[in-house]
Structure 1
Amino acid sequence: MAKSIGILGVGQAGGNIAEIAASMGFQAALINTNKRDGTVNARVENKYFVPGYSGAGQDRSIGLKAVNENYRELIDFVKNSFKNIKLLLVAFSTDGGTGSGMSPLLMDILLDQLPGVSIGAIAVVPDRNVLAGNRINAATCIAEISRIEALSSVFLVDNDQLRKLNPQSSKHQVYLSSNHQVMDAINHVLQVTKKSSFFGNFDGTDLMNILNTRGVTIISTTTITDAKSTADVTSKIQQSWVNSIFCPVESTGVIRAGLIYEGPENMAKLINVPSIFEGVGEPLELFEGTYITESDPTITTVLAGLAFPSRRLKALEDLLEKNKERLQQLAKKEYSQHYESQVTWASNLKARPQEKKPTANIASKITKYQK
């Protein structure tokens, strides 16, 4: 059965997420300014390489220019790449040039161009070890995303979360793991909507009601095998929000939520909804699903309509603020630096080749030597 969510990767990070999505059976496509980056994503069949570009070199203005010059072709490409989906998630890294520069404007344009399809985002937030240029890109990109009024769920994939849990991991391992985890989470809730239960179904309409909510969304799953009480279950669920692959929940104000239980019937009794949402506020709407199985008991929660995580984003910006004067000086220096020689007077001392006089004819030279 075709999945109701499509994944459009923009830039290298987005293309890698689209590659994983394609391997899971999602309709997937990618857009890039650099053909070499996109060709490695062999599972993604639909690809658009913006003509006249060979990458954006961390420059968001180049990504923006690529959309301005090619938006008609980009719209046609997206329309032809996805059929019968209800939600298109645009995946990209916020700190680069192509994905960060192209995606906000592209999403804003696509909102009016795909009838019956909602537009959301999978936006990768860099870990706090990245350099100043990447921090500036990420802060600017996320600010632009937050201003798109009709945008649906924004999944903020936080590379810092994996870095904290696995400090020894390489950059490649962190990226690969976070890309897999975000697609596993989305795929899991989609698969649940295909199940049936006597105890209450979480169906496709429920999921789309949640994911069409404007604001930040997170999905997390926790195993509650060793839970002994309601307090244990509540604690495990709330801890799963802290340890998820997404930016941690910082404030109250969940608008819509999903709560899915899978496991033995006796453990389902330990779920207490009011206590679970005590820390983040009771949602406007809650969609539940209970699926009795003999497997280890798990609870998956989907929280939508969260505010953008200002503390996490401030951590990206603080180092910029701290080094404001130095960074401004560096930018100024690029166009003002020059070198003055102290020995300009010495240039006249350089030896010059002796000037040749006009050559006499051979006959006169012979005459000169005759005795």
Structure 2
Amino acid sequence: MRVGLIGIGQAGASVVDKFAEEGYETLAINYSLSDLNSCTHIQNKHLLIGSEGVGKDRSLATSLMQMNWEKTVEVVKEQFSQTSTKLIFVVFSTGGGTGSGVASIFLDLLNSELEDKVVVAVPILPHKSESAISHMNTLECIRELSEVDVCILPIDNNKSSSVNKLSLYKEVNESFFTTLNQIITQTSLTSPYSNLDQTDLIKLFSTVGWSSIAQLNLANMNGQVNLSEESIVDQISSSNGIFMSVNESKIIRLGLTFYGQESLMNLVNTSSILNKFSNHPLDIFEGWYPNLSQGYLRLIYTGLSFDTERLGKIEGKTISDSETLENVLNQSHKVNVKSQVNLNKPNKQRKALSSILEKYKK
């Protein structure tokens, strides 16, 4: 199975550029030629017409798509024409202009036009330090995405431990690549117990709604905590890494893989993991792969609701920043000077040339 990735806007293309470096089929889409040129590994790039960048103006990006959508869909069809390409991940920032403004209509079009492929949205949520505009754009983008019938796998920049943007972007890009690459690679493994194969993965990512991924290395945990079914379930709740936290109000499908020692395998109980949800999933896909030294547990949740706590933080940040900015913007920019200083130079008194010369006589 081949997997394709599309990066919309600068942030999306930056993530996808790492996949291009490792040989994946990729495409970058942007209004800005300079942003497209910054992708050093993506060979296939599509320049949207109408503006040289949109400056975080998502409404402008959306309106300009009216003159771009037909050609863009044609480019995507041509780029990912091989029948073996079954999954296409579309990565974009919710806080910017191009990605945020273009993604929903683009995903809707692709989902309709690419009948033989599964399209997955990968929105990147902003870090709490990002601007009020980024958070406002995010709210609008989330609202629109929730009306598109695709699987949505949010990356949450707020989950990063990095203190500066350069480290944050590098950490998130590397983590997303490593996770998705391992998931795809693992579908080719065989096991005497149970396999999560390519068909299962496609079924997982064809589930409409929000999704998340949790990962635990039980081999590293062993000895640090008293491993048990209960402790593993407790740790899973905080093991989403860069992905959105799980809303436990509902779940449609679950993918579970364990790659590791059989002694640790015996501590992983699927029923216990699912007890925190309000319902039992429609499908459970499992892969159990014995290994003498590892202990890697991964969970893919699909068909979720959006994380209500995270949504509240985005809304709170937007309201708080909006009120502050409104007060600032309403203040006059005029400068009132209370005291005046006479900066006029005293008038020169012109001296007679003969008097100046007389001064230097000896």
TM-score tier by shorter-chain length is 0.7 to 0.9
Tell me the equivalent position of 1:89.
89
Partner Cα separation in structure 2 for residue 323 and residue 76 of structure 1? 40
Alpha-carbon distance change, 319 to 51 in structure 1, aligned in 2, over 3 angstroms: closer
Residue 323 of structure 1 and its aligned partner are, at CA, apart by 5.1
Tell me the equivalent position of 2:227.
228
Alpha-carbon distance change, 273 to 338 in structure 1, aligned in 2, over 3 angstroms: closer
Partner Cα separation in structure 1 for residue 234 and residue 309 of structure 2? 22
Tell me, yes or no, if the aligned pair for 1:224 and 1:236 is still in contact at 8 Å: no
Tell me the equivalent position of 2:277.
280
Partner Cα separation in structure 2 for residue 178 and residue 67 of structure 1? 28
Query: Could you report, residue by residue, the CA deviation over 1:121-174 in whole angstroms, capped at 9, with x for unpaired residues?
Result: 1100001122211111111011110111x21x2111111111xx34xx311111
Tell me, yes or no, if the aligned pair for 2:132 and 2:321 is still in contact at 8 Å: no
Say which of 257, 260, 274 aligns to 1:260. 257
Tell me the equivalent position of 1:186.
180
Partner Cα separation in structure 2 for residue 277 and residue 179 of structure 1? 29
Partner Cα separation in structure 1 for residue 315 and residue 327 of structure 2? 18
Tell me the equivalent position of 1:177.
171
Query: Map of 1:292-303 to 2, 5 A cutoff?
Result: 292-303=290-301
Q: Which amino acid aligns with 2:69?
A: Y
Alpha-carbon distance change, 325 to 259 in structure 1, aligned in 2, over 3 angstroms: closer
Identity of aligned residues (%): 29
Say which of 306, 312, 315 aligns to 1:317. 315
Say which of 58, 61, 64 aligns to 1:63. 61
Instruction: Please state whether the residue corresponding to 2:63 is helix, strand or coil.
Output: helix
Tell me, yes or no, if the aligned pair for 1:185 and 1:220 is still in contact at 8 Å: no
Partner Cα separation in structure 2 for residue 12 and residue 117 of structure 1? 25
Alpha-carbon distance change, 338 to 248 in structure 1, aligned in 2, over 3 angstroms: closer
Using the TM superposition, name which of 81-90 and 191-200 deviates more. 81-90
Query: Could you report, residue by residue, the CA deviation over 1:149-203 in whole angstroms, capped at 9, with x for unpaired residues?
Result: x21x2111111111xx34xx31111112112212221211111110011111110
Alpha-carbon distance change, 141 to 294 in structure 1, aligned in 2, over 3 angstroms: same
Tell me the equivalent position of 1:107.
107
Residue 330 of structure 1 and its aligned partner are, at CA, apart by 6.1
Query: Map of 1:21-100 to 2, 5 A cutoff?
Result: 21-82=19-80, 83-84=82-83, 85-100=85-100
Tell me, yes or no, if the aligned pair for 1:238 and 1:276 is still in contact at 8 Å: no
Q: Which amino acid aligns with 1:179?
A: N
Tell me, yes or no, if the aligned pair for 1:237 and 1:299 is still in contact at 8 Å: no
Partner Cα separation in structure 1 for residue 211 and residue 307 of structure 2? 11
Partner Cα separation in structure 1 for residue 15 and residue 158 of structure 2? 17
Please tell me whether residue 129 in structure 1 is matched to residue 129 in structure 2: yes
Partner Cα separation in structure 2 for residue 193 and residue 18 of structure 1? 21
Runs of at least 5 residues in structure 1 that lack an aligned partner in the other structure: 342-371
Instruction: Please state whether the residue corresponding to 2:267 is helix, strand or coil.
Output: coil
Tell me, yes or no, if the aligned pair for 2:118 and 2:202 is still in contact at 8 Å: no
Query: Map of 1:209-228 to 2, 5 A cutoff?
Result: 209-225=203-219, 226=222, 228=227
Residue 216 of structure 1 and its aligned partner are, at CA, apart by 1.3
Tell me the equivalent position of 1:344.
none
Partner Cα separation in structure 1 for residue 334 and residue 217 of structure 2? 65
Query: Based on CA coordinates, which of the two structures has the bigger radius of gyration?
Result: 1
Partner Cα separation in structure 2 for residue 311 and residue 230 of structure 1? 27
Please tell me whether residue 17 in structure 1 is matched to residue 25 in structure 2: no
Runs of at least 5 residues in structure 2 that lack an aligned partner in the other structure: 337-362
Q: Which amino acid aligns with 1:35?
A: L
Instruction: Please state whether the residue corresponding to 2:239 is helix, strand or coil.
Output: helix
Query: Map of 1:320-339 to 2, 5 A cutoff?
Result: 320-322=318-320, 324-328=322-326
Query: Could you report, residue by residue, the CA deviation over 1:93-120 in whole angstroms, capped at 9, with x for unpaired residues?
Result: 0000111111111111122211211222
Residue 322 of structure 1 and its aligned partner are, at CA, apart by 3.5
The TM-score normalised by the length of structure 1 is 0.83
Residue 250 of structure 1 and its aligned partner are, at CA, apart by 3.1
Number of residue pairs matched by the alignment: 329
Residue 87 of structure 1 and its aligned partner are, at CA, apart by 2.2
Q: Which amino acid aligns with 2:138?
A: A
Residue 291 of structure 1 and its aligned partner are, at CA, apart by 0.6
Residue 23 of structure 1 and its aligned partner are, at CA, apart by 2.1
Q: Please report the RMSD computed on the Cα atoms of aligned residues, expressed in angstroms.
A: 2.2
